[in-house]
Each structure stands twice: as structure tokens, then as C-alpha cells.
Amino acid sequence: MAQSLRRLLHHAVPAEFHDPIGLAGRVLRSGPDGRFAVWLAGLGILAAPIDILASGFEKRLYERSDPPRMPMLFVCGPPRSGTTVVALAIARALDVAYVTNLTAMFPRAPILASRAFGARPDGKLLTLRSHYGRTAGMRGWNDGLHLWDRWLGKDRTATDARLGPAEGTAMQRFFGAYERWSQRPLVMKNNGLIFYAAQVARYLPTATFVCLRRDPLYLAQSLLVARSYIHGDDGIPYGRDDPARAHHDDPVDDVCEQVLYYERLTRECEEELGPGRFRVLSYEEFCANPAAFVDRWAADPLAVSSNPDRIPATLEISSRQTVSDDLFARLRLGLGLELHG
């Protein structure tokens, strides 16, 4: 009974949250985006019976759909690397589709719910503000992790999921049905796709991946802070990690190893898929001139019109020390940056 209830509530309270009550309190104090996320989770629980009833009708849409034909752009990379602001800028400036917050209320029937409530994606409604990837508004941006759970499994910390023919076909049919409804190329963000890019690329041949790379020192700092904020414990990793490595008791050493692992993983993905399909992007370079990158993606791979005036000429780069001098120095040392100032 408990396991069945846990599965039912997974999309609202994912299992990777080790301190859900404490997290809810911290998020409620964070601002409008965080408060909306908590409110949306509650509404999702209330909407679950309707969602379950509608799921059978939703499946018929998938059965009639073909694989997607339009270009798709997936933003991925380490958590806290700038993936959300990049994805939001693309969706705001380009004539593309994205997954809305409404779908999180109806994870089993997202297309039917979007039709019923008239919640078509509209980039003009988006801002570049978010809180740990969460935005406000029913038509606001959503990472759609509740959708990826269908094909990659519900353990969002795992790195060993395998997309077999059944999962790959189901994924093709969903995105084909979503494309048929939206009539636009899709932009979507999932940090975890850095682990599964090659598998997803095999089943979605029109997909291109943009992978963020952030200054490792500030990435490590942000991941360390996120451990305490999300889990209430800096000893618990935030985001996926290398399953093969031994974890350190010291959180500073541990988070440095996590960052170095992401660096290796990024290089491996680029080598496997090639720079045409797996494009590595510096977060700092994007912030210096976001319109240039957005225009580039508008032409290739998305082939859509661009409205660069909808995003600022530059974005503030998050490169401020937020931990003690001692911790900051130890992060620098753990990343092998002690000789670079």
C-alpha cells in the first residue's frame, strides 16, 4: 500500500528529495517561482484521479502518432550549470514548443489536459527567472521530468537506465503526438540527458543536444550549496553522480569529484555523438551574448524565426563567492585550480 501511494505521488514529491517537508518550507520562503512549485505539486495530487481516467484516451493519441519529423533541441548538462536560463531564452526568443507546468498536474495525460485547458506553449509569456529550474504560471516552462520518467525510470539519480525497443518506441510516439498537437519544433531541458544522450539520439534522429559547461569552481560551489538547500544535508549529492566512484565523507572533496566527473562525461558524449549533434556551450560565453547563440540555433538546427529582442543583450553571470573563504579555497584546491589564482 505504501509503495503504491509513493508511486502515485512520485511526480509531485520525487523520491530523490530526502527532506521533502524541510524543502517545502525553504521553497515557500524563496519567492513566487518556488511557491508556485509547491502549489503545483499539491494540485497534481488533487488532479491525480482525473489524470488516471484520462490516461487511456491519451494513449490512443500515441498509438496513432508517427515519430517526430521536426527538429528537436534538448538542453542538458550538470545541474546548476545554467541549463534553465539557456532553455528559457531559447523558448522565449524562438517560435518553438516547450512543455508547460500544466503537464506536471497531468503527467499521464499531458496533451489532452493541454488541449482541454487551452494551455498552448507561448514563449512571450516566459521570463528568464526561475528557482532551481522551477517557474511560475500554468503555461510557464517545465523540465518535463515526469515525462522522462516513463522511459528512463523514476529513479532520477540513476545513470544505468537502458532505452530498449519498447521504451524507445513509446518515446517516439509521445514526441510525435506532441509535435502533431503543437505544430512546432520542440525545445526541452533535462540535465540528466548528459547520461542518456546517445540512447535518446538513436530513437530521435531529429534531436540535437546543447550541453552546458560552467566554470568548475562556481559549479562546485553551487552544487555544494544545493546539497544543503535541497536535501538539508551537504553529505548527500545533488543530481546524478558517477556510480563507479567511492564517495568521500568530506562534502567538499566529494563535490569536486562530482564536477570532474561531469567534465569527463561531457567530453565522452561529444566524442560519441560528434559536435554536430552534441554541442558543448560555455555558460559564461552564452551570458555574454545570448542573442548570438539563440539566432544560431534558430537557423540550425531548429529552422524557425527568431525574436532576439525578447531577451537581454547580456545576462548577469553567476560568479559570486557564496561560501566561506576556507570552503572556497578548498574547492579550488580539490579541482586542481590552486595554481591559477
pLDDT given for residue 16 in this prediction: 64
Tens digits of residue pLDDT in 282-306:
999 999 999 999 999 999 999 999 9
Residue 304 zone, left/alpha/beta (φ > 0; ψ -120 to 50; rest) = beta
pLDDT given for residue 246 in this prediction: 86
pLDDT given for residue 4 in this prediction: 45
pLDDT given for residue 50 in this prediction: 96
Cα–Cα nearest to 289, from 81, 93, 72: 93
CATH code of the region 2-340: 3.40.50
* Strand pairing report for 278-282 and 186-189: unpaired
Is the pLDDT confidence value at 3 over 80?
Answer: no
Cα–Cα nearest to 213, from 264, 252, 251: 264
Are 160 and 207 in contact by the 8 Å Cβ rule? The answer is no
Q: Is 233 helix (H, G, I), strand (E, B) or coil?
A: coil
Are 180 and 65 in contact by the 8 Å Cβ rule? The answer is yes
Mean pLDDT across the chain, nearest whole number?
Answer: 92
Task: Please state the domain extents for the chain.
Answer: 2-340
Look up residue 100 and give its DSSP letter: B
Are 197 and 269 in contact by the 8 Å Cβ rule? The answer is yes
Look up residue 282 and give its DSSP letter: E
Are 156 and 16 in contact by the 8 Å Cβ rule? The answer is yes
**Which H/E stretch holds residue 213?**
strand 207-213
Higher pLDDT, 3 or 227: 227
Rounded mean pLDDT of 110-136? 95
Tens digits of residue pLDDT in 8-42:
444 555 566 666 777 778 888 888 888 999 999 99
AA letter at 241: D
CA 237/CA 249 separation, integer angstroms:
11
CA 40/CA 257 separation, integer angstroms:
34
CA 85/CA 33 separation, integer angstroms:
14
CA 19/CA 224 separation, integer angstroms:
16
Look up residue 338 and give its DSSP letter: G
Q: Is 236 helix (H, G, I), strand (E, B) or coil?
A: coil
Is the pLDDT confidence value at 339 over 80?
Answer: no
Residues in Cβ contact with 304 at an 8 Å cutoff, skipping those fewer than 6 apart = 94, 95, 96, 184, 185, 298
CA 295/CA 307 separation, integer angstroms:
8
Is the pLDDT confidence value at 103 over 60?
Answer: yes
User: Within 10 A of 246 (CB to CB), how many other CB atoms are there?
Assistant: 7
Higher pLDDT, 198 or 247: 198
Percent with pLDDT over 70 in the chain: 93
- Write down the number of H helices and E strands in the chain: 14, 4
Query: In 20-164, which residue ranges form alpha helices assigned H by DSSP?
Result: 20-28, 32-63, 83-93, 102-105, 110-117, 145-152
Model pTM above 0.95:
no
Cα–Cα nearest to 227, from 28, 17, 33, 35: 17
pLDDT given for residue 21 in this prediction: 79
